[in-house]
Structure 1
């Protein structure tokens, strides 16, 4: 992609990869310019979503962003808190996050996934007014779905390695596979 092509993707939107009754609906912060330009979620080469999804056991092989529709075969989907593409998430306003949270809650209520996995604790806190939320299972539901906050897989999130992210995503997978109906217990909430 040329810099001009990436800039042309600013403020574009990318269709969700969704279906009713998913096991997990992964929710990114917002599309990157690369995602906006390609139409594929988590498309930036530095984003670790696809490798982490595989390493954690959600997919049997590492999918490429262009293979995002394959997620539906595994009962997985992707959406975003804010729909418009930007170079960085810090270009988004708190109001956009709050509006996005309302839209997301309605989407989750309609689609009825078992779990909503928000990839980015700061975005989650802002969108849903949960100032003290931390990574891990949350004690409430959104639109009827259990909620788990995961680390942001962006390459800019240096606090988490691909391995430690895969371990956290794996914790969610264990809950999805073994006890989808059980709410978070105090021992689960970090």
Structure 2
């Protein structure tokens, strides 16, 4: 893994990281916003302590442990990645309530256009802020975006000590099973 100096990481602040998406995915994973390591590398969930990639593998979404640099392979598994807020920051607490609200609005438009079977937001606090749902808990939500179901996952950041990799993998597995039981929304309703 490339090592970045503090100055190189700081230079990545406010950069945008392209989504990994396609129409009709089984699951569109949604992070809070890119961290500086993600922005510096251009790869989602790139910080070494982030548990997204190991948990994705442990839960059976991918047949092997992918590196962040292999994120392009996700669409071949019917998976994608986006963020609630596009701009990179060192910490999520640097985001404003207005950014979360606008991010939720733009995310809903993106989901309506891409029509994944499930939108999986990684972080209950981010979901609550983006969609104004103060009572949301980890797990499936009542809310839908068009025909897309919504699931809130625990934040895979290494800073989230409330969830272990094992308990996080169990929640990701629940989503994987649900996603296997539902078909993604397609352009042709006869499919």
**Class of the TM-score when normalised by the shorter of the 2 chains:** over 0.9
1:160 paired with 2:163, answer: yes
Equivalent residues of 1:108, 1:144 under 8 A apart: no
For residues 53-98 of structure 1, what are the alpha-carbon distances to aligned partners after superposition, in whole Å with 9 as ceiling and x for unaligned?
Answer: 0000000000000000000000000000000000100000111000
Mapped contact 2:31–2:82 kept (Cα < 8 A): yes
State the Cα RMSD in Å: 0.9
Unaligned runs of 5+ in 1: 182-190
The reply to whether residue 84 of structure 1 matches residue 87 of structure 2 is yes
CA change 1:179–1:107 in 2 (3 A) is closer
Aligned residues: 181
Decide whether aligned partners of structure 1 residues 142 and 11 sit closer, same or farther in structure 2, where only a CA change above 3 A counts.
Answer: same
Aligned twin of 2:69: 66
Pairing 1:1-190 to 2, within 5 Å after superposition: 1-180=4-183
Q: TM-score, normalised by structure 1?
A: 0.94
Q: Is the 8 A contact 1:35 1:42 kept in 2?
A: yes
In 1, distance between residues paired with 2:143 and 2:91? 29
How far off its partner does 1:136 sit?
Answer: 0.1
Give TM-score, length-normalised by structure 2.
0.93
CA distance, structure 1, for counterparts of residue 181 and residue 140 of structure 2:
15
